[in-house]
Amino acid sequence: MSEQSTPETVQNPAETVPPAAERAGTRARPEDLVDLEALRAAYFAQHPDPADPGQKVSFGTSGHRGSSLKTSFNEDHIAAITQAIVEYRAEQGITGPLLMGKDTHALSGPAQDTALEVLMGNGVHTLIDSRGGFTPTPAVSHAILVLNAGAGEPSGAADGIVITPSHNPPTDGGFKYNPPHGGPADTDATDWIAARANELLAGGLKDVQRIPLEQALAHEALGRYDFRDRYVSDLPQVLDLAAIREAGIRIGADPMGGASVEYWAEIAERHGLDLTVVNPKVDPQWGFMTLDWDGKVRMDCSSPHAMASLIERMTPGQSTEDGHDDVAQDPEHVAPGAAAPFDIATGNDADADRHGIVTPDGGLMNPNHYLSVAIDYLYRNRPDWPASAAVGKTLVSSSMIDRVAAGLGRDLNEVPVGFKWFVPGLLEGTGVFGGEESAGASFVCFDGSPWSTDKDGLLLCLLAAEIQAVTGTSPSQYYAELVEQYGQPAYARIDAAATPEQKATLKKLSPQDVTADTLAGEPITAKLTEAPGNGAAIGGLKVTTENAWFAARPSGTEDVYKIYAESFRGPEHLKQVQQEAQAIVDAVIS
């Protein structure tokens, strides 16, 4: 995750992380863009080698992802995964409709076609978007919950597939499964699906039941569902849209070329909001994007580089002579001395499960900062939420959330990385909010009933406007007030080299393996290899002191481990925490 470069955030320390690419934050050039014809041709022409680990089906925290150009996301993969999901549903007794959504990545359309050929070949009742458009992840999650609550008439529990690699570059595709609880599938499900899919690949797909696309599209088992109408119509159940409308909050929403583009326009029209879709373009090459920190096109709405255009548009008085002239060619760019065009500007990634919040007075908010604000505001302004409901956070999110929760008199539910851990609480009302440091979160309706059990970027973006409407304070100003009350943390993530063997050791550590009793001059208060909130293994280590902490987790794709760290004693103390954290981890994995 890229983070905002603010005085309270240390980003990408030069001694451990490569510096940002020279052109980061500037508009993409033709040579930066993917060849769409080659990408789509490779999807059908290239066939994975079942013996190559890099070409097998592998589910991470958000499904299977890869690129057709690397033979890691191709027609064979999708056929095998879909057949595996069909068989998993049968084993679990899931007989209701399967809801399918897709985002705007170039490989999402072909992948949906492949999946429909297999689903119809198996006679699975499947619902796709009735308007033939794109579907954000939260809209699929919300629809699953609505159907399973009885608003529709399914013959059994509904579940879903979302075809998206989230914020990944245009070269990539993604495919994820959401079971009847509406949220991300847990590892029991994804491990079963991946193992069966790889068996099918190794068997040459001979056990995959499939019919031609033309027949699939005409099949009686294929139905339509208006995801957009359901989502937009229900928003007043979870947000005070009337307050936003009456306060006249001016919102600039940037879908960043993703699946939320038509949703924002309909939200504005249906609910009478002063909301402008600042960029309605859908381009599978994402040629309008500014390059991310590493020089790649990536739709990361938490990155100041990927969000450079929107940030500059919202920055009153900024000169265009800052090396970003190719960003500031928009006629709506804020001229020096002019006021910002919006009170709140927002961004979403390609499937709209992440949020980015930009304010005129604070720029792009650090995701940890906004989560802290959202939690403090929501728990004070949702009187019908259960008084015993905890605050949900992942163990690598800011300890500012811990202090906010304590100030609210609420318990903290600290879980491993992965939104799936928040699903039970959101469904049962024991955890009315869940958020991740990577700018993903969701919360329940006014009455405590579940809204979505997957991350909802549109929801968190609209919440920023509600916060400003109700409090008269921008989210960035709100965070400054929290800092005055609880202190100012410095937070960063760095990577350190590790062999596969060392990563495996780190994943299996016990607290007793750590012999250090101090960290950066403070006594260690906890050594954790299991999450305090649910006792689940964190796949790494977290060490805490009164004013600081670090967490170390092995990367799933690279020969590195990630060190997340934070200090309430300033950036210099944070650097000391990082250095000692690496020494502590290296000592126990070497």
Active-site amino acid positions: 166
**Hey, is 551 helix, strand or coil?**
strand
Of the candidates 175, 208, 231, the one whose C-alpha atom is nearest the C-alpha of residue 84 is 208
In whole angstroms, what is the distance from residue 396 CA to residue 562 CA? 10
**Token reading at 196:** 């069966």
What's at 581, amino acid-wise?
Answer: A
Provide the token pair at 336. Answer: 């020096």
Structure tokens at 58: 């592998």
What is d(CA 414, CA 405) in angstroms, rounded to the nearest whole number?
11
One DSSP character per residue, 525-585 reads -EEEEE-TTT--EEEEEEEE-SSEEEEEEE-SSSSEEEEEEEETT-HHHHHHHHHHHHHHH
Other CB atoms within 10 Å distance of the CB of residue 220: 8
Report CA-CA distances (Å) from 190 to 195, 201, 207, 433.
8, 16, 19, 24
Amino acid at 248: G
Backbone angles phi, psi at 453, to 5 degrees: -115, 20
Q: Is 237 helix (H, G, I), strand (E, B) or coil?
A: helix
Among 411, 562, 576, residue whose Cα is nearest residue 490: 576
Torsion angle of C-alpha atoms 23, 29, 30, 31, degrees rounded to 10: -10
Cα–chain center distance at 526: 29
